[in-house]
Structure 1
Amino acid sequence: MKLRIVLSFFALITWLTAFGQEKPNPAIVEKGLIKISVMYPYAEGKTFNMEYYETKHMPMVAGFLGSNLVKYTIEKGIASGIPNQPLPFMAIGTFYVKSLSDYQAAIAPNRDAIRADFTNYTNISPVILVSEVIK
């Protein structure tokens, strides 16, 4: 009888652990993170090598950020939000980090290397927005 109670208790604990708690969704970005959006505006005659950006440039910058980096994303522009209007951005790279000051400290000594790499994938000067994730 005691063994049955103990086994029932462990079964309940196992069930609660597996199914009784909401599991975090890794696709959801946490409130309070710092988001660095590097946006590449579209313009006639401008070029962008997405393969290089995805396989070389973004991993290089992510490596500089170390454990401060939560995740990064790469977006390829495909259309404007208004029909028959030009594409606003060819691409957007986004870094989500825990600390703005740690981000700045990691980027500062590597700024020249990051900028020098631009010529390997684009002739566009990016627009950078630093923001805080609210929701």
Structure 2
Amino acid sequence: MNPKVILALIVIGTLVSCEPPQPESQPAQEQVSAIRKGMIKVTIMYPSSDTSRFDMDYYSTKHMPMVARLLGDSLKTLGIDKGIAGGAPDAPLPYMAIGYLYFDRLSAYQNSIAPHVDEIRSDFPNYTNVRPVILVSEVIE
């Protein structure tokens, strides 16, 4: 093979291998990296029963975006889980859905939610007929 061709291939190969990697869209990883030790996590659990109703589409496309808008910059990230099974074979589903809200400090949660509690609660009948169980906790890991 011609030495000039070999040299040209080496130069092209070097240039291509030195090109910076193209960014990939990975919102799940970005969301996970936004969750840090010491953050406040508000977990909203919707218990399941024979008579319970839950509209996941409404919850994920209307309710949670509304909550995010109302809480503003105090809300750092959020998450939604859809219940699919109990923990043991044939165990009843304990929760139809679970929502998560993350804040830097407890005061950030309290101050941002207080003026909007009534508006948020008034939206419940649009997607569920159950009262959620709410847990406020600190992220350890």
Normalised by the length of structure 1, the TM-score is 0.79
Runs of 4+ in 1 over 4 A off after TM superposition: none
Structure number, greater radius of gyration: 2
> Do residues 50 (structure 1) and 62 (structure 2) align?
no
Instruction: Note the C-alpha offset of 1:59.
Output: 0.7
Deviation at 1:65, TM superposition (A): 1.7
Tell me which residue corresponds to 2:91: 85
CA distance in 2, matches of 1:63, 1:106: 11
Shift of 1:67: 1.4
Q: 1:101 aligns with which of 91, 107, 119?
A: 107
CA shift, 1:41, in A, is: 0.5
Partners of 2:39 and 2:45 in 1: CA distance:
19
Partner letter of residue 52 of structure 2? K
Displacement of 1:36 in angstroms is 0.2
Per the TM alignment, residue 100 of structure 1 is displaced from its structure 2 partner at its CA by 1.3
Structure 1 unaligned residues grouped into runs of 5+: 1-14, 19-24
Give the counterpart of 1:41 among 47, 51, 58.
47
Deviation for aligned residue 1:108: 1.0
Aligned residue identity for 2:90: N
Aligned residues: 114
Q: Say if 2:74 and 2:112, in contact at 8 Å, map to a contact too.
A: no
- Which residue does 2:125 correspond to in 1? 119
CA RMSD of aligned residues (A): 1.6
1:122-133 correspondence to structure 2 within 5 Å: 122-133=128-139
The 2-side partners of 1:93 and 1:72 are apart by 7
Identity, in percent, stands at 55
TM-score of the two chains, using structure 2 as the length reference: 0.76
- Equivalent residue of 1:36, what SS? strand
